[in-house]
Amino acid sequence: MPKTPAIGRQARLLGYECLLFLFALWVLHRLATHDFSMAVTKAIWIAPLLGIGTTLLGIGIVRGVSGLAGREATAYIGLGRARAARALISVFLYIILAIAIASTTQLDLSGIAVSGAVTGVVVGIAAQASLSNAVAGLVILFSRPFRSGQFVTVRSAAFAGSEYTGEVGEITLFYTTLFAGPQEIHVPNSAMMTSVVTLRPQSLEVYLPVLIPADRWSSLSTTDLTRQLKAALPPNRNVSVTVEKVEGGQVQLAVRASLAGDEERALLERGVVHAIQLTPAPETGAPVALD
């Protein structure tokens, strides 16, 4: 692969930087424990200057490692998950860097630890919803129950029983974006984690109202109609037939389907006509039974 030499050079450069960083940490530790000569130890500018330089070198290493890992992971896990992985690696390495610098310079972190614990509890309570969205976003990004570009139907109790259907757009740490025609829907990832998500390779939602006489309906059933309509369409198409109402000696059916385009819609309409032997009324467009 053409990128391999460049990647190898970057990895070697990061290796040299890590060796230099470890050496700088060793020098800082010797300065903190007064293992050098008195002249070096009494030079008050050496330790702060070396500490700043070591910290900047560590930051450079963290950015280099996370950047290299993110670029290489993009081809395998996608851009969204690669960004999340890069952020996680950066946070983890920055924590290690801070602990290494603090322990090497023998800083007293007891006060910071206590105040940090109290602050963490307060922030955790205040940001509970955001944290739950972030954790759910990480689970979605790495488990991949759905991907960008797929068509899904999302139903959850958090939506008060309603459902959302559309194409999955960007998946971030906090929100999943659905595109339903011109409408853009941002669903919190915590709600997506507790939702029933139906994957659909289709992009067109079709609704056909059908009117038939009640005496003819006595010889039909929604199960038989659904089976016949599915047989008239390509495989893996979602079709449902339900009874909406019975009024005035007529039964109104609702035929709903998730299709790939207008050609399949025409197949569905022909299947309805064939299954129930109906024809569209010229004025309303609603099917009525042939005598």
CA atoms of 177 and 127, how far apart (whole Å): 21
Structural element, H or E, at residue 97: helix 79-104
Unique residue bearing structure tokens 């560590």: 58
DSSP-based three-state secondary structure for 240: strand
Q: What is the pLDDT of residues 51-69, one digit of tens each?
A: 788 888 888 888 888 888 8
Position 284 pLDDT exceeds 60: no
Q: What is the pLDDT of residues 8-37, one digit of tens each?
A: 787 888 888 888 888 888 887 777 666 555
Of residues 130 and 117, more confidently modeled: 130
Position 1 pLDDT exceeds 50: no
Would the pTM of this model clear 0.85, i.e. be above it? no
Specify the pLDDT at position 249: 83
Q: How far is CA 124 from CA 29, 173, 174, 178, 252, in A?
A: 35, 17, 16, 29, 53
Rg from Cα positions in the chain: 32
Position 208 pLDDT exceeds 60: yes
- 257 CB-near residues (< 8 Å, 6+ apart): 205, 206, 208, 229, 233, 237, 238, 239, 240, 264, 265, 268
Nearest to 177 by CA among 189, 187, 191, 190: 187
CA atoms of 51 and 107, how far apart (whole Å): 12
Output the average pLDDT for the chain: 76
Both tokens of 279, joined, read 């024809």
Of residues 31 and 45, more confidently modeled: 31
Position 2 pLDDT exceeds 70: no
Percent of residues in the chain assigned helix, strand, coil, to nearest 5: 55, 25, 20
